[in-house]
Amino acid sequence: MTSSLIGPLTIPRQSGDRRHWSNLPGSASSLLIAETIAQEQQFCLVVAADMQSAERIYHELNFFLNAAGVEPSNLVQLFPDWETLVYDNFSPHQDIISERLRILNQLPSMTAGALVVPATTLMHKIAPPSFSLGSSLVLDVGQKFDIKDMRRQLESAAYRCVETVLEHGEFAVRGAIMDVFPMGTDHPYRLDLFDDEIESLRTFDPETQLSVNKVTSVRLLPAREYPLTTAAINRFQDAWHLKFHSDPRRCPIYQDISQGLSPAGVEYYLPLFFESSATLFDYLPEGALVVSEDIDATLRRHWRDAESRFESLRYDIEKPILPPEEILLSADQLLTACNLRPRIEIKEASHQQGDQFSFAQLPDVAIIERGQQPLEKLQLLLKQPALKILIITESNGRREVVDELLGRHHINTQIVDSWHEFLSHSAAVQLAVAPMERGLLLPASNLLVLTEQQLFGQHVLQKRRRDRQKDNAAEPVIKSLTELHIDSPVVHIDHGVGRYLGLQTLSIDNQETEFLTLGYQNDARLYVPVSALHLISRYAAADETLAPLHKLGGDTWEKAKRKAAEQVRDVAAELLNIYARREAKKGFAFPEPDEAYEEFAATFPFEETPDQQNAIERVISDMVTEKAMDHLICGDVG
């Protein structure tokens, strides 16, 4: 294969064939993988040394694959780790399980793209494809439907019956309506039944509980990575008796599974549910290419940690545990599985038989703080003829900061939206937004990619992104039913303080409508349509346990509102007096922020939150005028 950017690439084709890539600084290895996928329509299993490296490669592949003119999200997937320690008493979050099940169902049919996985995650034994691929259920509009039978099926698939569906793996039944949040989907679904038939299927917003779009069918994946059918429970019990000699009556996990429950930490007993477990390798499409970082040390360290934890926990008679070899692949087993497939190893050091590429070490372009020419290193690079530079920032806000900084030093820039657009544009310096930490230098093609980390000499946190459109965090208005829990105090604008008792479906004029049920004194009930959620606000006092309970139809609430209005008027009069005296007083006007201030602000390694940005702008606005200012800025860490 010949890449337009890199030149010839030799890709192993046969099982057992191996190649080595070495001396690939920065994100060069990700560009090579992206070129392999784009040019060869190849599927790659990319094995990263750890989760941090996996996330970094995932973002880099998504960015570089834009060069192929395809939607990256359909090509590159990140297989999430359970995020638990071996033998933990905790289970993974349902969103993690949902993403894993979605990927496992798609993986065998993928013909091109990449699955990025940390090496330690790849070690875990998982459910066989016969379960993950064969336990789904498709529901269609017009299909015959028995709600009691469906409820049993969902519970056997480990779905939880709840009052209000908010998370993956939950379902709720209210009369002839069933809500369910299938694993592997972005939205929950609402099934409206007419007699014994599905009349309509709609997505709905879990925050507002309002229906959104009509659909014709929905696929339900199991809610866990193990079954809870009668046959699976019996298999678990039989395997338990064979593996362990402790009294099962003293083992909470055994008792919970026997009752069809999903106890925390049961994932480390997963082999007991199946005749034989599997690994991620069993799901790979035919011809998959394995591309791995230097993972040997990571695998062996993880195996030693698992053995150590096993030795310290194995003597608990109430929680006997399986040995590491039954729940994990050893380092040697995993490396053997990699070597049975076409494989490329990425090595940091030079390799005698490794493929050589024309990448080079990234130049030092760090901004010189407090220097007369802070961008001197970058300006020297720009004197090289034909060199194209792409500077990547982590957000639009940071891109604007860098753009302004370059502009003040007479460096013209072009804003682009993708790697593909950068390659096709002729501007010497271009700016793009992507969650990338590493750049690259390709001298043969006169291409240099820089990130904020290279410019500012520090790590820019990618996870500090916030919605700048509107900050409603401090508002007492309830925007979402997820903000409420049963018995939480709420305030109705007309009826005062009550307690939220949940959702209820009522039939009015032969039309079923969802209502919030609020409880008041003397067991009185107030039913508020979901569409009137704006009439309800959170109880804003410090201690919810001391919230009063008003009487429907009483005058306590009206008296409280009148008293509050009087206090507001008194405070307003006092504030007006303070503001009037402040306006009459002359203060000191500071000069407008200069270039030194802007360069100092640009070194802040985070994107400012809306509150931070608002506070900064208001303080500066007052400082540059003669108006006396009086600001108190409060902040907390975390």
CATH code of the domain covering residue 394: 3.40.50.11140
The verdict on residue 247 lying in a domain is no
Q: What pLDDT score was predicted for residue 510?
A: 65
> What integer pLDDT is reported at residue 615 of this predicted model?
87
Position 313 in a domain? yes
Range of the domain at 488: 481-554
- For residues 18 and 91, membership in a common domain is answered with yes
Tokens 């990425």 belong to residue: 346
The answer on 406 and 389 residing in a single domain is yes
Same domain, 65 and 212: no
| Consecutive 10-residue averages of pLDDT for the chain (638 residues) | 68 88 91 90 94 94 72 79 91 91 93 95 96 89 90 90 90 92 94 91 91 92 92 96 92 93 93 96 95 94 95 93 97 96 84 74 84 84 91 90 89 92 93 93 93 74 40 50 78 90 77 82 88 80 78 85 88 85 81 78 70 85 82 69
121 lies in some domain: yes
**Strand runs labelled E in 404-475:** 414-415, 429-433, 440-442, 447-451
Position of tokens 């939480």?
488
CATH code assigned at 296: 3.40.50.11180
* Residue carrying the six token digits 């392999």: 36
Does some domain include residue 525? yes
- Whether 474 is covered by a domain: the verdict is no
- Same domain, residue pair 385 and 405: yes
Q: Can you tell me the distance from the alpha carbon of 490 to that of 532, in angstroms, rounded to the nearest whole number?
A: 14
CA dist 202 and 191 (Å) reads: 7
Number of domains the chain is built from: 4
Assess whether 32 and 117 both reside in one domain: yes
Q: Check residue 607 and give its pLDDT.
A: 66
Q: What whole-number distance in Å separates Cα of residue 119 and Cα of residue 298?
A: 7
Note whether 216 and 243 are within 8 A (CB).
no
Q: At which residue do the structure tokens 């001197």 appear?
A: 376
User: By C-alpha distance, which of 360, 361, 346 is closest to 290?
Assistant: 346
pLDDT at position 462: 45
Residue 477 dihedral angles phi and psi, to the nearest 5°? -65, 135
Q: In angstroms, rounded to a whole number, what is the distance separating the alpha carbons of residues 8 and 5?
A: 9
* Whether residue 154 is found in the same domain as residue 113: no
**Same domain as 542, residue 439:** no
What pLDDT is recorded for position 350?
62
Any idea what the CATH number is for the domain that residue 540 is in?
A: 2.40.10.170
- Show Cβ contacts of residue 620 under 8 Å, excluding neighbours closer than 6 positions: 593
Is residue 592 domain-resident? no
pLDDT on residue 515: 83
Are residue 94 and residue 211 in the same domain, yes or no? no
Based on its alpha-carbon atoms, the radius of gyration of the chain, rounded to whole angstroms, reads 30
Q: Do 332 and 297 have their domain in common?
A: yes
209 in the same domain as 147: yes
Six-digit token string for 346: 């990425």
Q: What is the pLDDT of residue 332?
A: 97
Residue 22 lies in a domain: yes
The angle that helices 296-313 and 331-339 make with each other, rounded to 10 degrees, is 140
Residues 126 and 273 in one domain: yes
Same domain? For 547 and 506 the reply is: yes
Give the pLDDT confidence score for residue 638 in this predicted structure: 47
Helix (H) / strand (E) containing 213 = strand 211-215
- Do the domain assignments include residue 360? no
Tell me, what's the pLDDT at 208? 86
User: What does the alpha-carbon distance between residue 455 and residue 465 come to, in Å, rounded to a whole number?
Assistant: 20
